[in-house]
Amino acid sequence: MHETSSPSAHATLREGASNLPSFSLAIANIRVDDASPVSIYEQICRAIRTAIASGELPPGTHLPTSRELADALKIGRNTVVTAYSRLAAEGYLLANKRRGTRVSEDAQRLAASVPEERPVIAREAVAREADAGRQTYRQVGNAIDISYHAKQVLQLMAQAQPHTAPFGLHSPDPSLYPRNPLSRLIAEEFCRAPGGGDLRQGLRRFQTVMTNHLRHMRGVLCEPSQIIPVTGIESALDLTARVMIDPGHCVYVEDPAYDIVGRQLRSAGAQIVPMPSDSNGADIERVQGPPPRLIFTSPSVSFPFGAQMSQARRDAMLAVARNANAVVFECDTMWELSYTGGRVRAMQGSAKDAPVIYFGSLYQTLGPHIRVGYLVVPPHLVEPFTEMALRVSSGPEPFLLAALAGFVESTDYAVHTKSIRATYAERLGVLVSSLRSSLANVTILEPCGGLHLAVLFNGPVNERAICRAAAERGLSVTELSRFYLDPSRAPHGLVLGFGNLPERVIETMVSRLAGVVGEVREHGRVIAPAA
């Protein structure tokens, strides 16, 4: 037992653990701060990790029971149990019913391999630091500004309407979520103790199940190790850019596409070259630009037109990628919601050596609460993607991956996707019929899949005015130009989501939208045709 203890090992502020004289001073001097933004259990974890790193808690040191430490700190026992469980899962502690909780043999090595953690600071100290910072800021006299990229993102977010409003994009119907079977699996996995302390067990199970699923349903050619879980398309693009893109690299992006694609790749320093799209998908033969490093495309269901790429254009794109030593980023998020056309296999599965990074997601079928997607990377890229994901990606939790693996592996998932596909197809049919009867001088691009459709105006119209007026009436419509890399080249039109629209309200909502369009046209807010 040490006679003294380093102040760096002590969390602050609440007194109490000094009532434990029979234990190490590093434990007896723990303080916790109710006012800290850091949770109390994490404060305890940090204090113990710091004490281990400093040598105040050597391997084999016994810790007080959860009840003893909770009584001393005057906190709930479950908080201490959570802290001990977290540290045991990380390898710092060993818990045994007979021998109690003690520091593991590998604890100091683990502590030395992570950056030193700053102790939890008292509320008074935080206030002093903030005052000093404000004083320095006043002396400098300059406003600390955010980045141009952040300004763009925040501006778009401020302009956007809630996804849950009628016609909101990327909004599946929450009433269709598979609550009972999936929630049961999630609860079971959340409460399950990791087998043998292996926190990667859920990841491996997810990789194995999704490999079999994608082989059978999409013709994807891969091994489990090639599947990298991510939280969505933004994290998938971020991870891909970190591994594949250097500033100045040329990236072909189908035009139009999700607006997040251009923003994410530009922030990585890429030079974006538009790849024009039509009813046959993206046409790489119309691109004029330097050889690409990456090619972004959605061949199964494009956004926002909902078109399926022809086989000839798929072959041409793969040929360009091979000749340029580039890779295709295949965004395949909507294939489970295909309503018309043949179910063409994924580009990734067209050949064993296809230079394709495949991205899929469970968001559209399981809803926004399940933020889980996956990349399938070529074999020679598995190691860099895996290592980079471990370092920078906050991927899905292993227990959630294990639960989803069980759900996809069972018949429940197949039944669920078949059911919602039929429901969304019926909604699409009602929406198209209502639009055709309510809106004049428009062309409706009926998609082959997905939860969106585009409406093109036969003539110039102020779509921005329509969107603003629609927002005032509770409708979330989006101007088509938002999804073009060069908005000035976009045809006049709107993009409507229908995932969150029950059939019984579609006609009413379309009638409300038609009224808005009529008012904008009637009041003369029309853009003059370009000369």
Residue 217 resides in a domain: yes
- Looking at the structure, tell me whether residues 195 and 242 fall in a common domain: yes
Residue with more model confidence, 167 or 91: 167
What pLDDT is attached to residue 466?
94
- Looking at the structure, tell me whether residues 394 and 357 fall in a common domain: yes
- Looking at the structure, tell me whether residues 450 and 482 fall in a common domain: yes
Q: How confident is the model at residue 307 (pLDDT cuts 50, 70, 90)?
A: very high
Final residue of a domain: which of 394, 409, 424? 409
- Looking at the structure, tell me whether residues 358 and 472 fall in a common domain: no
Residue 446 resides in a domain: yes
User: Which residues, in sequence order, are CB contacts of 334 under 8 Å at separation 6+?
Assistant: 298, 300, 301, 303, 364, 449, 450, 451
Tokens 């974006």 belong to 272
Residue with more model confidence, 411 or 38: 411
Residue 129 resides in a domain: no
| DSSP H helices in 141-232 | 148-159, 179-191, 201-218
The SS3 assignment for 494 reads strand
Residue 136 resides in a domain: no
In this prediction, residues 441-445 reach a mean pLDDT of 94
Residue 138 resides in a domain: no
Residue with more model confidence, 100 or 438: 438
Summarize pLDDT for 193-226 with one digit per residue, the tens.
665 445 678 899 999 999 999 999 999 999 999 9
Q: Poorest-confidence range of 108-112, 308-312, 320-324, 426-430?
A: 108-112
Residue with more model confidence, 449 or 88: 449
Q: How confident is the model at residue 506 (pLDDT cuts 50, 70, 90)?
A: very high
- Looking at the structure, tell me whether residues 251 and 397 fall in a common domain: yes
CATH number at residue 427: 3.90.1150.10
What distance, in Å, lies between the first and last C-alpha atoms of the chain?
86
In this prediction, residues 85-108 reach a mean pLDDT of 82
What pLDDT is attached to residue 341?
67
- Does 131 have pLDDT greater than 90? no
What pLDDT is attached to residue 342?
67
Q: How confident is the model at residue 411 (pLDDT cuts 50, 70, 90)?
A: confident
- Looking at the structure, tell me whether residues 358 and 461 fall in a common domain: no
Residue 531 resides in a domain: no
Across the chain, what does the average pLDDT equal?
83
Residue 476 resides in a domain: yes
- Does 418 have pLDDT greater than 70? yes
Residue with more model confidence, 224 or 47: 224
- Looking at the structure, tell me whether residues 185 and 112 fall in a common domain: no
In this prediction, residues 71-99 reach a mean pLDDT of 84
Residue 323 resides in a domain: yes
Summarize pLDDT for 221-278 with one digit per residue, the tens.
999 999 999 999 999 999 999 999 999 999 999 999 999 999 899 988 999 999 999 8
Residue with more model confidence, 507 or 60: 507
Final residue of a domain: which of 366, 389, 409? 409
State which residues form the domain around 62: 7-124
CA distance 357 to 329: 5
CA distance 62 to 95: 10
CA distance 404 to 400: 6
- Looking at the structure, tell me whether residues 165 and 107 fall in a common domain: no
- Does 4 have pLDDT greater than 60? no
What pLDDT is attached to residue 127?
45
- Does 7 have pLDDT greater than 50? no
In this prediction, residues 473-499 reach a mean pLDDT of 93
Q: How confident is the model at residue 121 (pLDDT cuts 50, 70, 90)?
A: very low
Summarize pLDDT for 355-401 with one digit per residue, the tens.
999 999 999 899 878 889 999 999 999 999 999 998 887 789 889 99
- Looking at the structure, tell me whether residues 332 and 184 fall in a common domain: yes
- Confirm whether pTM is higher than 0.95: no
Final residue of a domain: which of 409, 438, 467? 409
- Looking at the structure, tell me whether residues 253 and 393 fall in a common domain: yes
Domain count, the chain: 3
What pLDDT is attached to residue 154?
65
What pLDDT is attached to residue 265?
93
CATH number at residue 59: 1.10.10.10
- Looking at the structure, tell me whether residues 191 and 49 fall in a common domain: no
User: Which residues, in sequence order, are CB contacts of 481 under 8 Å at separation 6+?
Assistant: 463, 487, 488, 490
What pLDDT is attached to residue 14?
57
- Looking at the structure, tell me whether residues 209 and 332 fall in a common domain: yes
